[in-house]
């Protein structure tokens, strides 16, 4: 069974990844393509 | 940045991308034994796109002159990006079942430490480069240094 700490840690990683993707490559791609 | 420097930088980026794609190929070949994890694949895609972004910005500065002093900080960044790319997907799969969620759990601290180092290095070296350029090309400061005034 997966502990709550592992689930919470994973949620934080998803939030961090979303922020990095949006501010990094995704923003760059949208500026370059648009 | 002249073409020779761009070629050298491209080799490092190319090796990093090749490492990632080779790892992906090995996983796809063993797909029946793999327990996939979208989070790790997202990290790998972010790393791949970050390398593309860095290479694109290097290629865009082709006309700017570059010294070894300018290039060494970039070299450190490229090495960090290579390590990040190599760590983003497993290299050795072995004979057992491959769990990408377990792999991410084991490697996430290393991956995010490398990412944080690369990002801090990029921001830090850019800030230093801008500060040096301002110091060098600021007319008011140059005049103050030479003691001339209006």
Of B39, B50, B115, which has the smallest distance from its Cβ to A25's Cβ? B50
pLDDT digits 0-9 by tens, A7-33: 888 889 999 999 999 888 888 888 888
Bridge partners (DSSP) listed for residue B35: B99
Q: Does A28 touch chain B (CB under 8 A)?
A: yes
pLDDT of residue A9: 85
Say yes or no to pLDDT of B45 above 90.
Answer: yes
Phi, psi of B27 (to 5 degrees): -65, -45
Say yes or no to pLDDT of B18 above 50.
Answer: yes
Q: What's the gap in Å between the CA of B1 and the closest CA on chain A? A: 21
ipTM: 0.80
- Find chain A residues with C-beta within 8 A of B39's C-beta: 10, 13-14, 17
pLDDT of residue B134: 87
- Of the candidates B15, B11, B131, B4, the one whose C-alpha atom is nearest the C-alpha of residue B62 is B4
Following DSSP, what letter does each residue of B87-117 receive, concatenated?
A: HHS-S---SS-EEHHHHHHHHHHHHHHHHHH
Better-predicted residue by pLDDT, B149 or B110: B110
Q: Averaged over B12-37, what is the pLDDT?
A: 95
Q: What is the pTM of this model?
A: 0.84
Say yes or no to pLDDT of B106 above 80.
Answer: yes
Are B90 and B22 a contacting pair, CB within 8 Å? Answer: no
């Amino acid at each position: 069974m997966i502990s709550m700490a592992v689930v919470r840690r994973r949620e934080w990683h998803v939030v961090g990844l979303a922020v990095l993707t949006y501010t990094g490559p995704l923003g760059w791609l949208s500026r370059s393509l648009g | 940045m002249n073409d020779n420097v761009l070629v050298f930088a491209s080799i490092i980026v190319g090796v990093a991308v090749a490492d990632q794609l080779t790892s992906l190929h090995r996983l796809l070949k063993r797909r029946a034994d793999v327990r996939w994890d979208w989070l790790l694949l997202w990290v790998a895609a972010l790393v791949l796109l970050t390398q593309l972004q860095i290479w694109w910005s290097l290629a865009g500065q082709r006309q700017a002159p570059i010294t070894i002093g300018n290039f060494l900080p970039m070299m450190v960044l490229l090495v960090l990006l290579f390590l990040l790319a190599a760590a983003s997907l497993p290299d050795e799969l072995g004979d057992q079942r491959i769990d990408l969620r377990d792999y991410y759990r084991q490697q996430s601290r290393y991956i995010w430490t490398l990412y944080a180092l690369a990002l801090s290095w990029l921001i830090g070296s850019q800030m230093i480069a801008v500060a040096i350029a301002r110091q060098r090309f600021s007319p008011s400061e140059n005049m103050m240094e030479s003691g001339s005034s209006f």
